[in-house]
């Protein structure tokens, strides 16, 4: 009969209306500022700089290699190298960033900086409440604002952080073993193996440079 | 005491007017009545907006506004402040005078319609002989303001929206008038006060509302359809179909003028509901004889708000019609049905009392309705939809 | 002829003059609406509720809208800048309208001598009386008008249909 479908539809919406008062499955709204749904572990918003230990300036992993600066598609990273050097996590003296700034308003959360970083120094944060009423200074984050401890990293991305830590520990162990072996070799025989390994180790580091210049020339 | 509650507004007005010299009293009484209308119905408009947003939210499994005040009930105040403080933009090529006059004219005309609605026992601003005709004359004048708004904006969407609105309102005005003519025919009067009085009788404790007769029910359904279309409400909201026309005839309006259009639209809804309640649902009369002690104006506003709820419910349910469906529905279904209803009402009138006329009138209406539905749907096939482009 | 009458008369005449003199056709149509409204108010001023409201319902609600529709569907709304607002045959029009006005005025003056002298004493006609008169004494006239309108309606439908079929064939 004519109009039957309308009555059926009205019944359906009435059921929805009444159901939203009693059933939690129908009313799926999460009232955001008061309640939050948990973020997925792989969520990412904005990069931060990782440091080891408690002193952010001393423990900063970044060595100011500027790969991320060159790879960043929207060019939102600005790095200035330091003149002096400080020891990194394996104890090797490295230069560190005298300035490291990221513009929040430009960053597009692509995570490329994280993927190209050879030192596991830059990671993605999950904090999305970045709004500010200062649209110039407030949107440009400096070194200090970007620094986050390794514990914080563990708290937001536990799986990934564990992997990173394992990799770093492995590398450190390798370096230490190599140092020990080199020391042992130096003590025993003429140095043949280090000369063979040095070019192989240098190759991956020098590789990104041509890419970056290519991108810049475009 | 209860009678005093029923007449409280009249007594209040008389008390206030009593302070003035005798020569001024009539004019002051009218002014107070106008103030009452201008205060009460926009208040109902505010309640309606928040009710609509909350209700639609619940229908769509959302919460609706709940930030301003407890449960969001102060939302209309926030909306009003927002509209008042927004910039009033007039397009450079717009016809400034007409652009300004359109919303003002709309609101004035819609307010005038309330003048003849009896909101309670003895509570009508103007009790005139042809009040129903006055109401429809005012309703017809809103079309001019909608056209003025659409044309003066110099925007193709505005103009298209206005053309659609005017075509739709002219088409649905005919069934709207026709369904009311049935009531006029049975009451023998164009006066809304007399129409309510005719319905304010009870037998076995049940009221003599016109909706409880076959022809009255049919006329009520047609009136509801035509009234929904007349107020440009979903599913007949083509004039402001936001998916195709931005906002229809008020695309180029902002700030307070937009708020006036919004007000006009909702006041139109309230006044159509009020007229529907007056014509078919017994106006201010109580639904049961034993409930007669409740003040009459409470019943009127309860009926109005009930029909507003139905408006919202329908809006949350039905999709928008297409232009040709809209016109075909008006001229090929609603109008013939109202004409048939006129004949049925005449049959009812001349068959005298008894159960027989109930059967005859119901049989005619239901029979034609079912047959028309079958005939109209004969070539339509309903089933799961198939999309050709997706394969 | 009280003060309200003169206000309403001025409004009506101003609306009618604006309808003739304005350049923009839609403005003219809106001014015509004002004139219609003035006429309706004049009816109300004479206590003729039914005629007044019917005037608003039919003329403002329908006729004015149809005029506007016709303007928008047929031509540009702006009259050309060169040349005045009057057509070249303005003199003929003037003569015809003056003639029509003279005939109407003459008929009015002949029908009820002394109407403009004394105050109106006719009792206000209620809607019921008008209805009874239409269904009783004037039923033939009503039916003839109804027939005419029905014929016009059918004619309009036929005109609209014919055009569509013609384009389909051609």
For residue A2, the chain B residue with the least C-alpha distance is B373
Are the Cβ atoms of B317 and A9 closer than 8 angstroms? yes
Q: Is some CB atom of chain B closer than 8 A to the CB atom of A2?
A: yes
Q: Who's near B362: CB < 8 A, 6+ residues apart?
A: B214
CB-CB under 8 Å, A14 with B61? no
Please state, in angstroms and as integers, the Cα–Cα distance from residue B270 to each residue in B5, B142, B300, B320, following that order. Answer: 24, 15, 11, 21
**Alpha-carbon gap, residue B101 to B264, rounded angstroms:** 13
Query: How many whole angstroms separate alpha carbon C86 and alpha carbon A37?
Result: 73
Instruction: Count contacts between B and C (CB, < 8 Å).
Output: 66
Of A13, A29, A31, the CB nearest to B59: A13
Residue A34 to chain B, least CA–CA distance (Å): 12
Mean pLDDT in residue range C70-77: 73
C-contacting residues in B 368-387 (Cβ below 8 Å): none
CA distance B74 to B46: 9
CB contact under 8 A, A17 and B62: no
Q: Are B370 and A2 an interchain contact pair (Cβ–Cβ within 8 Å)?
A: yes
Using left for φ > 0, alpha for ψ between -120 and 50, and beta otherwise, residue C47 falls in: left
- Chain B neighbors of A19, CB-CB under 8 A: 61
Other beta carbons within 10 angstroms of residue B134's beta carbon come to 25
Q: What are phi and psi of B273, to 5 degrees?
A: -65, -40
Residue of A nearest to B63 (CA): A29
Question: For residue B66, what are its two tokens?
Answer: 């709940």
Q: pLDDT averaged over chain C?
A: 80
| CB–CB contacts below 8 A, A to B | 46
- Closest by CA to B183, choosing from B217, B206, B158, is B217
List CB contacts of A120: < 8 A, sequence separation 6 or more.
A50, A61, A164, A167, A168
User: What's the mean per-residue pLDDT of chain B?
Assistant: 85
pLDDT recorded at residue B272? 92
**R_g of chain A, CA atoms, integer Å:** 26
User: Which stretch of A117-121, A125-129, B40-44, B204-208 has the lowest confidence by average pLDDT?
Assistant: B204-208
Interface contact flag, B140 C49, Cβ < 8 Å: no
Contacts of residues B287-291 at CB distance under 8 Å and 24 or more positions apart, as own/partner, are: B287/B207, B288/B202, B288/B205, B288/B206, B288/B207, B289/B202, B289/B205, B289/B206, B289/B207, B290/B205
Residue A212: cis peptide before it, omega within 30 degrees of 0: no
Cα–Cα distance, A154 to A151 (Å, whole number): 5
Beta-strand pair B206-207/A147-149: unpaired
- Lookup: tokens for A83: 């003149």
Main-chain dihedrals φ then ψ at residue B259, nearest 5 degrees: -60, -35
Helix, coil or strand: residue B369: helix
pLDDT of C75 over the 70 cut: no
* ipTM for this prediction: 0.76
Task: Find chain B residues with C-beta within 8 A of C127's C-beta.
Answer: 129-130, 133, 189-190
Other C-beta atoms within 10 Å of B237: how many? 21
Chain C residues with CB-CB distance to B under 8 A?
A: 26-27, 30, 33, 40, 49-50, 53-54, 56-57, 60-62, 64-65, 68-69, 72, 126-128
Average confidence (pLDDT) over B29-38:
86
Q: Mean pLDDT lowest for which of A60-69, A180-189, B212-221, B322-331?
A: A180-189
B58 by DSSP, 3-state: which? helix
DSSP H/E element including A149: strand A147-149
Task: Note whether B143 contacts C61, CB cutoff 8 Å.
Answer: yes
* Beta carbons of B174 and B261 less than 8 angstroms apart: no
Q: Name all chains with 3 or more CB-CB pairs below 8 Å to chain B.
A: A, C
The pLDDT confidence band at residue C152, using thresholds 50, 70 and 90, is very high
How many Å apart are CA B57 and CA B55, to the nearest integer?
5
Per-residue pLDDT tens for C18-71? 888 887 888 888 899 999 999 998 888 887 788 888 888 888 888 888 888 888
Residue given tokens 């569509």 in the structure block: C164
CA B35, chain centre distance (Å): 21
How close C170 gets to chain B, by Cα (Å)? 24
> Cβ B372–A2 below 8 Å, yes or no?
yes
Q: Can chain B be said to touch chain C, i.e. do they have 3 or more Cβ pairs within 8 angstroms?
A: yes
- Tens-digit pLDDT profile for residues A171-208: 888 888 888 888 888 777 655 554 444 444 444 444 44
Residues 92-121 of B with CB under 8 A from C: 95, 98
Angle formed at CA C8 by CA C3 and CA C14, multiple of 5 degrees: 130
DSSP character for C54? H
> Which subunits sit against C, judged by 3+ Cβ pairs under 8 A?
B
Q: What is the pLDDT of residue C1?
A: 60
Q: Give the pLDDT confidence of C108-145 residue by residue, as tens digits.
A: 888 765 555 444 555 556 777 888 888 888 899 999 99
pLDDT in tens, A8-48: 999 989 988 888 888 888 888 888 888 888 888 888 888 98
Mean pLDDT (chain A) is 80
* CB pair distance less than 8 Å for C72 and B98: no
Q: Is A30 on the interface with B (CB under 8 A)?
A: no
Q: Which residues are CB-contacts of B134 (< 8 A; sequence separation ≥ 6)?
A: B115, B116, B126, B128, C49, C53
3-state secondary structure (DSSP) of residue B145: helix
User: A125: which strand partners?
Assistant: A46
Q: Is A22 on the interface with B (CB under 8 A)?
A: no
Cβ atoms of B128 and B197 closer than 8 Å: no
The answer to whether B184 contacts chain C (CB < 8 Å) is no
Distance from CA of A92 to the nearest CA of B (A): 56
pLDDT tens digits, one per residue of C10-33: 999 999 888 888 878 888 888 999
pLDDT band at residue A90, thresholds of 50, 70 and 90? low
Minimal-distance CA residue of chain C relative to B170: C62
Q: Phi and psi dihedrals of C138, rounded to 5?
A: -105, 25
Residue C98 predicted with pLDDT over 90: yes
- If DSSP codes are grouped into helix, strand and coil, which group holds residue B123? strand
Give the separation between CA A81 and CA A85, rounded to whole angstroms. Answer: 10
Dist CA B317 CA B313 (whole Å) = 6
- Does the distance separating the beta carbons of B173 and C61 come in below 8 Å? yes
Collect all residues of chain B within an 8 Å Cβ-Cβ radius of residue A25: none
Q: Tell me the Cα Rg of chain B.
A: 22
Note the pLDDT tens digit of each residue in B142-169.
888 888 888 888 888 888 888 888 888 8
Is B188 an interface residue toward C (CB < 8 Å)? yes
Structure tokens at A176: 């230490």
| C-interface mutation test, from B102, B138, B142, B144, most C Cβ less than 10 A away | B144
């Amino acid at each position: 009969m004519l109009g039957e479908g309308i009555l059926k539809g009205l019944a359906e919406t009435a059921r929805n209306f009444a159901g939203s008062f009693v059933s939690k499955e129908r009313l799926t709204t999460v009232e955001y500022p008061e309640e939050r749904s948990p973020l997925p572990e792989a969520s990412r918003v904005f990069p931060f700089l990782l440091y080891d230990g408690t002193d952010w300036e001393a423990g900063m992993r970044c060595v100011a290699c500027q790969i991320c600066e060159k790879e960043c598609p929207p060019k939102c990273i600005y790095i200035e190298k330091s003149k002096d050097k400080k020891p990194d996590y394996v104890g090797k003296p490295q230069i560190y960033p005298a300035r490291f700034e990221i513009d929040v308003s430009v960053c597009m959360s692509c995570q490329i900086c994280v993927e190209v970083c050879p030192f596991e120094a830059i990671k993605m944060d999950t904090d999305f409440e970045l709004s500010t009423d200062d649209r110039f200074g407030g949107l440009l984050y400096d070194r200090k604002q970007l620094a986050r401890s390794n514990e914080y990293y563990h708290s937001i991305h536990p799986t990934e952080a564990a992997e990173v830590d394992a990799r770093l520990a492995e590398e450190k162990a390798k370096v230490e073993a190599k140092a020990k072996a080199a020391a042992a070799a130096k003590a025993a025989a003429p140095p043949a193996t280090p000369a063979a390994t040095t070019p192989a180790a240098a190759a991956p580091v020098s590789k990104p440079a041509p890419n970056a210049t290519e991108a810049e020339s475009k | 005491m209860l009678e005093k509650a029923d007449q409280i507004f009249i007594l209040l007005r008389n008390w206030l007017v009593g302070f003035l010299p005798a020569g001024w009293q009539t004019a002051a009484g009218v002014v107070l009545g106008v103030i009452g209308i201008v205060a009460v119905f926009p208040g109902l408009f505010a309640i309606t907006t928040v009710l609509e947003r909350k209700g639609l939210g619940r229908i769509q499994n959302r919460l609706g506004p709940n930030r301003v005040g407890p449960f969001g009930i102060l939302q209309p105040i926030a909306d009003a402040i927002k509209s008042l403080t927004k910039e009033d933009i007039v397009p450079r090529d717009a016809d400034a005078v007409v652009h300004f006059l359109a919303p003002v004219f709309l609101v004035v005309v819609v307010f005038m319609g309330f003048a003849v609605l009896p909101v309670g026992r003895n509570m009508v601003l103007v009790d005139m002989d042809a009040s129903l005709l006055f109401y429809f004359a005012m309703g017809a004048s809103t079309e001019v303001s909608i056209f003025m708004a659409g044309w003066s904006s110099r925007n193709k969407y505005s103009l298209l929206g206005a053309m659609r609105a005017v075509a739709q309102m002219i088409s649905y005005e005919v069934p709207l008038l026709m369904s009311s003519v049935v009531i006029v025919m049975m009451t023998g009067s164009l006066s809304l006060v007399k129409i309510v009085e005719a319905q304010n009788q009870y037998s076995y404790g049940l009221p003599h509302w016109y909706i409880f007769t076959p022809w009255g029910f049919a006329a009520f359904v047609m009136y509801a359809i035509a009234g929904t279309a007349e107020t440009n409400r979903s599913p007949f909201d083509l004039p402001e179909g936001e998916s195709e026309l931005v906002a229809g005839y008020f695309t180029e309006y902002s700030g307070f003028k937009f708020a006036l259009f919004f007000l006009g639209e909702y006041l139109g809804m309230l006044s159509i509901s009020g007229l529907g309640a007056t014509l078919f649902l017994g106006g201010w009369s109580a639904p049961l004889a034993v409930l007669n002690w409740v003040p009459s104006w409470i019943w009127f506003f309860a009926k109005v708000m009930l029909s507003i709820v139905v408006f919202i419910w329908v809006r949350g349910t039905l999709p928008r019609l297409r232009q040709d469906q809209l016109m075909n529905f008006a001229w090929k279904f609603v109008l013939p049905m109202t004409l048939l209803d006129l004949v049925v009402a005449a049959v009812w009138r001349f068959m005298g009392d008894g159960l027989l006329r109930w059967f005859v009138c119901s049989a005619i209406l239901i029979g034609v309705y079912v047959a028309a539905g079958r005939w109209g749907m004969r070539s339509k096939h309903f089933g799961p939809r198939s999309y050709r482009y997706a394969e | 002829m009280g003060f309200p009458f003169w206000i309403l008369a001025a409004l009506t005449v101003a609306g009618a003059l604006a309808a003739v003199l304005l350049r923009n056709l839609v403005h003219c149509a809106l001014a015509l609406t004002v004139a219609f409204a003035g006429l309706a108010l004049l009816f109300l001023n004479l206590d003729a509720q039914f005629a007044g409201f019917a005037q608003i319902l039919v003329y403002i609600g329908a006729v004015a809208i149809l005029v506007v529709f016709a303007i928008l569907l047929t031509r540009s709304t702006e009259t050309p800048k060169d040349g005045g607002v009057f057509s070249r045959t303005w003199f003929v029009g003037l003569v015809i309208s003056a003639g029509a006005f003279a005939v109407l005025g003459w008929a009015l003056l002949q029908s009820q001598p002394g109407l403009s002298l004394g105050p109106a004493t006719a009792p206000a006609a209620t809607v019921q009386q008008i209805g009874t008169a239409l269904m009783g004494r004037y039923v033939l006239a009503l039916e003839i008008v109804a027939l005419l309108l029905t014929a016009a309606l059918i004619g309009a439908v036929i005109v609209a249909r014919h055009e569509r079929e013609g384009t389909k064939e051609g």
